């Protein structure tokens, strides 16, 4: 079997599996008793922070393993690699505003990745996967904010 096909298939499966907490926690915010909202919102925020930080780590991996990148491209990748983590950390400054910071972070990360993944020679399907995952995450975070404002 083709190695490229296996990695593409596994990346899709794991990527979509990684959406389960986002979707579950968003649904829980709409369905569960309002007394439980705070816990679900906290869990959604914590998971969002972890995943946004993970997205920056991809750039470090590429920068440290890709012999084709120039020194300028490596510096850019390493610098950008910490930005999603800093944005994720900044989301904790204000709880209500934090979800908007996370949403901004996911959208910004995708926009930067669209440009840098070309430099990294990532396969086209990976950016399509990132777009689908990002749209779902942003919708889940926005619906969580909406649920809190409607249900409390």
**27-40 per-position pLDDT tens digit:** 999 999 999 999 99
Average confidence (pLDDT) over 118-131 = 92
What confidence category does residue 93 fall into, taking pLDDT thresholds of 50, 70 and 90?
confident
Give residues with Cβ within 8 angstroms of 50, minimum separation 6: 88
pTM confidence score: 0.93
Query: pLDDT for 94-107, tens place per residue?
Result: 766 999 999 999 99
Residue 1 has pLDDT above 60, yes or no: no
pLDDT at site 152: 78
Number of domains in the chain: 1
7, part of any domain: no
pLDDT at site 105: 98
46, part of any domain: yes
Query: pLDDT for 43-66, tens place per residue?
Result: 999 999 999 999 999 999 999 999
Query: pLDDT for 134-144, tens place per residue?
Result: 999 999 999 99
pLDDT at site 96: 66
66, part of any domain: yes
Q: Smallest Cα–Cα separation from 24: which of 146, 149, 151, 136?
A: 136
5, part of any domain: no
What confidence category does residue 2 fall into, taking pLDDT thresholds of 50, 70 and 90?
low
Mean pLDDT of the chain: 93
Residue 4 has pLDDT above 80, yes or no: no
58, part of any domain: yes
73, part of any domain: yes
**Domain interval for residue 115:** 38-151
50, part of any domain: yes
């Amino acid at each position: 079997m083709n190695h490229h096909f296996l990695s593409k298939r596994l990346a899709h499966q794991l990527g979509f599996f990684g959406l389960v907490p986002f979707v579950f926690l968003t649904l829980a915010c709409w369905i569960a008793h309002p007394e439980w909202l705070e816990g679900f919102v906290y869990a959604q925020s914590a998971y969002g922070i972890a995943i946004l930080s993970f997205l920056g780590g991809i750039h470090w991996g590429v920068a440290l393993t890709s012999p084709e990148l120039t020194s300028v491209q490596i510096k850019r990748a390493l610098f950008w690699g910490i930005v999603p983590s800093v944005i994720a950390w900044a989301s904790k400054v204000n709880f209500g505003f934090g979800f908007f910071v996370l949403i901004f972070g996911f959208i910004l990360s995708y926009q930067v990745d669209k440009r840098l993944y070309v430099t990294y020679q990532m396969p086209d399907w990976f950016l399509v996967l990132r777009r689908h995952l990002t749209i779902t995450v942003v919708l889940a975070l926005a619906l969580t904010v909406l649920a809190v404002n409607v249900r409390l």
